[in-house]
Amino acid sequence: MTSSDPPRGLSGNTADSLNRASSAPPRSARARAKAMTELRQSTVLLAHPDDSQGEALLREVRRTGCRVEMAWPPPVLPPLGFDFAIVAIDTDALMAAPWLSGAPPVPVVAVVDGDRGLPDDVLRLSNAQAVLVKPCQPAAILTNLALAKQIFNYERRLLNKVAKLEETLHATRQIEQAKLILMQQKKLRANEAYDYLRQQAMSKQKSVAAISAALVDAYGLIE
């Protein structure tokens, strides 16, 4: 693909690139292996009672290659310095660690005991992104960690997007209020009121939203 190709060579190029692309592997095995290696180097908080099941689980998580710290009951404060939390979810755990049903700072994988019936109500109250049923193998642990991470990151992106949109919505409302105040107080037309706000914003190097908020606040004081 150089500029010496014949003019109008688009369709030729298209077919060419398509052929070459389809002969390439979908995604290199290397890239996938890299993601797996990264996952195996994670640091995991394992919140599980120190019983025989806990010991077995600790052993299996270690076999994945992850570094593990075990604790029970789960810490009251959100875990920092970890990449994941694997938590034996029950009502006690939810009561001991409020962050589990709030906004966990890391992806959470719940662990439940298959023999005791599935505690779907407890799962619903937790913010776990994946569930392991004991006893579990390293492969199951790793795939659940990978899934939890995906969902956790997606949720985070959506929450950030929502936060930005809410901020914008709020700003729009304040600009409308500020415009109304100016229209009433200074007998301006809508576009004049907006131009006034924009000029103020420019001369004070602030956003129209910030100027509007200040005006609405100040008006609240004198009214």
Partner 1 sequence: MGSTCEPWRVGVLFSQSGVTGAIEETQLKGTMLGIAEINAAGGINGREIIPIIYDPTSSTELYSHYAHKLLIEDRVTTIFGCYTSTSRKAVLPLVERVNALLWYPTRYEGFEFSPNIIYTGLSPNQNTVELINYLVATHGNRFYLIGTDYCYPRRTNRIVRDLVCGQGGSIVAEEYLDFDAGPNEIRPIINALRDRKPDVIFSTVVGQAISHFYQAYADAGFTPDNMPIGSLNTSEAELSLMGRDVGAGHITAAAYFDSVANEENTRFVRLFKQRFGENETTNMCAEAAYFQVHLFAQAVAETNTMETDILRPAVLGREIAAPQGRIGIDYKNSHAELWTRIGKATDAGNFDIVRESMVALRPDPFLVT
- Note the residues at the interface with partner 1 (CB under 8 A): 1-3, 5, 7-10, 13-14, 17-18, 20-21, 24, 26-28, 30, 153-154, 157-158, 160-161, 164-165, 168, 171-172, 175, 189-191, 194, 201, 207-209
Which CB atom, from 122 or from 209, has the smaller least distance to partner 1?
Answer: 209
CB of 53 to partner 1, least distance (A): 35
CB of 29 to partner 1, least distance (A): 11
Which CB atom, from 27 or from 116, has the smaller least distance to partner 1?
Answer: 27
Which CB atom, from 41 or from 153, has the smaller least distance to partner 1?
Answer: 153
CB of 13 to partner 1, least distance (A): 6
> Which residues pair with residue 194 across a beta bridge?
none
Which CB atom, from 47 or from 181, has the smaller least distance to partner 1?
Answer: 181
**Residue 107 burial (CB count, 10 A):** 27
CB of 141 to partner 1, least distance (A): 23
Which CB atom, from 3 or from 203, has the smaller least distance to partner 1?
Answer: 3
CB of 62 to partner 1, least distance (A): 28
d(CA 135, CA 60): 9
